[in-house]
Chains A and B, each alone.
Chain A
Amino acid sequence: MRRRTFRLFLGISLLVSLSARGQEVSEKLFHGVSVGMDVFGWIYPVFVSDVFYNNEVSVALNLRNQFFPVVEAGYGHCNTTGELYGIRYATAAPYYRVGMDYNLQYKRHSPVGFILCGGRLGYSSFEYDVDAPSLTDAVTGVEYPFHLRDISCRALWGEALVGVRTKIWQGFSLGWSIRYRRLFNDCTSPNGNPWFIPGYGLHGMDTFGATYQLIWNF
């Protein structure tokens, strides 16, 4: 885990050093609003796996072409049955993220695009169901049916990201980002941990994710 974190910070450092050469900074504070849709969330279930996926949109402000306060909202889905034990896990819930992107090339303005880094704070309040084959009492052999219903969880996590954004046509841009995610609360209930957290991914203290956004600037 430390190695992965180190690589991430190394990558960010490299990007910062690449963007160090400067010319002039924009004086104007407000440069517009952009609305984005994560295309990756639509592609993933079709071409990779429909075990779980997230669909999200985002709204960001452009301040001085340098700072981009952003709000992301989406809906996470998971309804799958594991092959090994025949356990079914199901959840579907909204999630939200707030944060900021930082244009690493704001001093060297390019009309084409820029490299960015940023951070997010993510939150999702959701309920999940688990259905599994019955448990067998080791002493008496009596079977205990295993059905968990509406187990609630409030997950909070942080994200560090690097990405690029490029204009494609008139006000439209494309952007992708690679995100390191870390869970702040374990969300452990008396019946265990959730398997999938909407907006975060598979339960675990840290994970990676990606977004590929179509963005409309206006």
Chain B
Amino acid sequence: MRGEKRWRTVLLFGKRKVVLPISLLIICGAVICSCGGEDCVINNTVTATMTFYLSDGNACQVNDTLTVTVVRADGDSVVLNRKKGATGLTFPLGYTNACDTFIFRFARMGVADSVFIRHDNHPWFISLDCGTAMFHTITGADCTHHLMQSVQIKDAEINYDAKENVQIVFGD
């Protein structure tokens, strides 16, 4: 009978002395479990990465002063300003438009090429503690052919993962 009472105390919380501490323990445990930390990205601007290649497949740098401007209906903006020896660039895509036009101006050679990147936009909910972002999926890419030979999509998904999204191949 005494053993039975002890069981009842332990299992059932039948004695008042243990009801509160054990209940608190369970509630605290549940609260701790529900407070799992989450790692947030510090800079939440999503950018695409573009790198330069030669037609033989080797990475290259532009031996010129390069300025890249993004052209949109609501205004132009410089994303790379007079950069020497550029091997690539990172750039944000538009949130509301389906195609971004980038004009590459090569100062010494006095020529310019345009790159057209078509994309879908996905408003992205991360969490209450980490905020929101705009992710993109590249659906197509083209370019003019003064110095550029082609544009290739390496990874169409543009999100927080640092990776090469687009390759620009220059002619010989």
Contacts and interface: CB of A to CB of B under 8 A. Distances in A.
Interface of A: 40, 43-44, 47-49, 80, 82, 84-85, 87, 89, 110-113, 115, 130, 132, 135, 137-140, 142, 144, 146, 148, 164-168, 174, 176, 178, 190-193, 195, 201-204, 207-210, 212
Interface stretch (B58-66, B91-99, B164-172): B91-99
Which 6 interchain pairs have the tightest Cβ spacing?
Answer: A82-B128, A166-B12, A208-B33, A192-B125, A166-B11, A138-B92
A7 to B, nearest CB: 12
B94 A137 contact: yes
B21 interface: no
Contacts of A148: 123, 125
A115 B12 CA distance: 11
A190 B124 CA distance: 8
A85 B132 contact: yes
17 contacts: A82-B128, A84-B128, A84-B129, A85-B128, A85-B132, A113-B8, A130-B132, A132-B125, A132-B131, A142-B95, A146-B123, A148-B125, A174-B12, A192-B125, A203-B127, A208-B33, A210-B26
Given A142-B96, A202-B36, A210-B29, A166 B8 contact: yes
A46 to B, nearest CB: 11
Contacts of A204: 36
Contacts of A112: 4, 7-8, 11-12
B7 A87 contact: no
Contact of A209 (B11, B13, B33, B124): B33
Report the interface size class on chain B.
35 or more
B74 interface: yes
Interface string B141-155: 000000000000000
B79 interface: yes
Contacts of A167: 12
A140 B74 contact: yes
Interface in B106-165: 122-129, 131-134
A204 B123 CA distance: 20
Contact of A144 (B26, B29, B123): B123
B122 to A, nearest CB: 5
B89 interface: no
Most chain A CB within a 10 A radius of its CB, from B7, B128, B131:
B128
